[in-house]
Amino acid sequence: MPVIEIANSDSGSSARIAADRGFNCFQFLARLSDGRTVDVLSATDDFAGGAQLCTHYGNPLLFPYPNRIKSGSFSWEGKSYQLTPDKVLFDPTGNAIHGLCLDRPWRVIEHTANKVIGAFRLSIDAPDRLALWPADAEIQVSYEVTGASLRSVIRVLNPTDRNLPWGFGTHAYFRVPLSATTEAAQCTLTVPARRIWDLDECLPTGKKKDPAPDVRLDRGRSFDGLKVDDIYSDVIAENGIVTCRITDPAAGLAVEQRCSDTFRELVVFTPPWSSSVCMEPYTCVTDAINLEQQGVDAGLRVLAPGEQWTGWIDIEAIPI
């Protein structure tokens, strides 16, 4: 499977992207000005070869819906749609999960020394899935290494003459701790969100609530004993920027993930298969296409014919 490498010649930072595995950036090595290198993302050595699940490592891209759609079924503009397990990914409880493009090859449309852009369009790259969604959809994602930072720019385009409902999210697995000589229990996780969605088997009921004290993350929470799989909402932005942070004081390091406040939800997940944490910016909540039709403000976005949307996410390693 093709692996694309990009690097910044000035800083020495680099990234590797598995184009055939959903354009997943599965490695980001951030080189700091003091000479240290931080291995930011969690992935196994054999990930790019297809030996591991594409949903379990690196930075999966979730489109045209993030997380789940209940039972894989929904209606749109008077027509019913049914996603099927033989076409898309489903979870063990029977819900479609993580979109239509994270397990398929993407096309590389631009590649320079420190930047690469990939594109995925249903009608071109997954024509067998085209009828499963109300309109053809295109997404373009760039990765660019600058200093000790990895910037992603996301463009969603509607190339059709119909309205396109959509949502987007990332599912990056961040290593904890940030150094081989420190401990995960010494690290702190900060996620700037005041509330969480009430969930029933990972699906929002349509109501929000205050997080329990042991999963309240807006003031910083020790990673020691943290077990969470929640959708955080009412995000707190400063100057339009939402900043999540892993701090490893014993290593003198932090990793920040920053995005614009157009990402209105943040899923936080501690996977049982690795020492890592997922901090997942979403443009909408799980099952938004169904919740919106129940009168819930779930963040579902709709592009009119010919329209496009642009967003960005930065990941940076910082000495502290």
- The residue extents of the domains of the chain are 3-319
* Amino acid (one-letter) located at 97: I
Return d(Cα 81, Cα 72) in angstroms, integer: 8
Return d(Cα 216, Cα 39) in angstroms, integer: 27
Backbone angles phi, psi at 66, to 5 degrees: -90, 150
Q: Which class is 3-319 in CATH?
A: mainly beta
- Contacts of residue 296, defined as CB under 8 A and 6 or more positions apart, other chains included, come to 204, 206
Q: Stretch 81-93: mean pLDDT, rounded?
A: 96
Confidence of residue 52 (pLDDT cuts 50, 70, 90): confident
Q: Stretch 179-184: mean pLDDT, rounded?
A: 96
Q: Which two tokens stand for residue 148?
A: 């000790």
Q: Identify the pLDDT of residue 51.
A: 82
Q: Which of 62, 60, 84, 80 is nearest to 72 (CA)?
A: 84
For residues 179 and 248, the answer to whether their CB atoms sit within 8 Å is yes
Omega into 64 within 30° of 0, i.e. cis? Answer: yes
Q: Identify the pLDDT of residue 1.
A: 55
Map residue 160 onto helix, strand or coil: coil
Give the angle 107-108-109 at the CA atoms, nearest 5°.
105
C-alpha distances in Å from residue 11, one per residue of 30, 31, 109, 254, 312: 8, 6, 25, 17, 22
pLDDT tens sequence across 216-261:
999 999 999 999 999 999 999 999 999 999 999 999 999 999 999 9
For residues 270 and 222, the answer to whether their CB atoms sit within 8 Å is no
Q: Stretch 171-177: mean pLDDT, rounded?
A: 98
Q: Stretch 16-25: mean pLDDT, rounded?
A: 97
For residues 235 and 264, the answer to whether their CB atoms sit within 8 Å is yes
pLDDT tens sequence across 90-102:
999 999 999 999 9
Q: Identify the pLDDT of residue 177.
A: 98
Give the angle 226-230-235 at the CA atoms, nearest 5°.
105
Q: pTM for the full model?
A: 0.97
Q: What is the mean pLDDT of the chain?
A: 97
Give the sign of the dihedral formed by CA 235, CA 90, CA 205, CA 82: positive
Return d(Cα 135, Cα 124) in angstroms, integer: 13
pLDDT tens sequence across 272-283:
999 999 999 999
Of all residues in the chain, the percent with pLDDT exceeding 70 is 100
Listing DSSP states for 98-132 in one string gives S-SSTTS--EEEEE-SSEEEEEEEHHHH-GGGGGG
Partners of 257 in the β-ladder:
244, 315
C-alpha distances in Å from residue 169, one per residue of 6, 74, 79, 119, 265: 23, 19, 25, 16, 9
Q: Identify the pLDDT of residue 265.
A: 98
Q: Which two tokens stand for residue 176?
A: 């904890």
161 has a pLDDT exceeding 70? yes
Q: Which two tokens stand for residue 53?
A: 């699940």
For residues 209 and 195, the answer to whether their CB atoms sit within 8 Å is yes
Return d(Cα 202, Cα 117) in angstroms, integer: 32
For residues 241 and 258, the answer to whether their CB atoms sit within 8 Å is yes
Confidence of residue 79 (pLDDT cuts 50, 70, 90): very high
Of all residues in the chain, the percent with pLDDT exceeding 90 is 97
Backbone angles phi, psi at 8, to 5 degrees: -100, 120
Return d(Cα 168, Cα 64) in angstroms, integer: 6
Confidence of residue 49 (pLDDT cuts 50, 70, 90): confident
Least confident window among 27-36, 51-60, 285-294:
51-60
pLDDT tens sequence across 140-159:
999 999 999 999 999 999 99
